[in-house]
Amino acid sequence: MSRIRRGWALTKKSWGVLREHRELVRFPLYGAAATIVCAIIVVGPGVYLIADGKAVFGGPLAVIGFYLLATIGFYFSVGLAATADMIFHGREATVSDGLAVARSRFSQIAGWAAVGYALDLGVIALAGEFCDRAHLADAEAFLAERAPRMPGGTRQLAETLEKVRLCIAYRDAQGASAARFFARASASPVR
């Protein structure tokens, strides 16, 4: 119960900081602008090339673009968190101060984005084969000792394993219904 109280107190304190320091809203706005630019310049052409049958060029471009989107998201989140932390500790802080912290931590941010993105890509790539309890146990055993060696690896592994567990639950809940649907669809004549 004390965790809930602490969480609620931190939430109230965070909203108070946002009300007192409205300039902090600039972090998500800057992040959104950078995301839109990256999506238009890198992700969009990659997806277009894939749809146009040129996956050899479009695939890597889209992968790089999505990695850049993850990096942008982490970058502005770190800046916001750093600025809020400075304010929580009674120091005057500006958006520039938060961005300076994010710049100083850019290699860690890029690494965190890479770890998270690589694990997510792995789950996506293996989703069909990986979405069962046996594979989940194998992956957990294999990655459990390796994840702590990477920055943020333990947290990212926990989030990735949760996605696999949700996939398993969804498959368990919807599997029979989907099988019946596809059985009916394959049995009915195509016109």
Q: Model confidence over 155-180: pLDDT tens digits? A: 877 887 888 888 888 888 887 787 77
Distance between CA atoms of 34 and 40, rounded to whole angstroms? 10
Does the pLDDT value for residue 153 go beyond 80? no
Question: Lowest-confidence range among 97-101, 146-150, 160-164?
Answer: 146-150
Question: Lowest-confidence range among 44-48, 111-115, 119-123?
Answer: 119-123
Does the pLDDT value for residue 43 go beyond 70? yes
**Residue 67 token pair:** 């990695």
Angle between helices 133-144 and 106-130 (to 10 degrees): 150
Distance between CA atoms of 57 and 12, rounded to whole angstroms? 48
Does the pLDDT value for residue 151 go beyond 80? no
Distance between CA atoms of 55 and 46, rounded to whole angstroms? 8
Q: Of all residues in the chain, what percent carry a pLDDT higher than 70?
A: 88
Distance between CA atoms of 38 and 64, rounded to whole angstroms? 10
Q: Of all residues in the chain, what percent carry a pLDDT higher than 90?
A: 25
pLDDT-derived band at 100 (thresholds 50, 70, 90) equals: very high
- Amino acid letter, residue 145: E
Region 103-109 average pLDDT: 94
pTM: 0.61
pLDDT-derived band at 136 (thresholds 50, 70, 90) equals: confident
Helix (H, G, I), strand (E, B) or coil at 93: coil
Residue spans of alpha helices (H) in the chain: 2-20, 26-38, 44-51, 55-88, 95-104, 106-130, 133-144, 153-187
pLDDT-derived band at 57 (thresholds 50, 70, 90) equals: confident
**Residue 157 token pair:** 């592994």
At residue 161, the pLDDT reads 82
Question: Does residue 174 or residue 14 have the better pLDDT?
Answer: 174
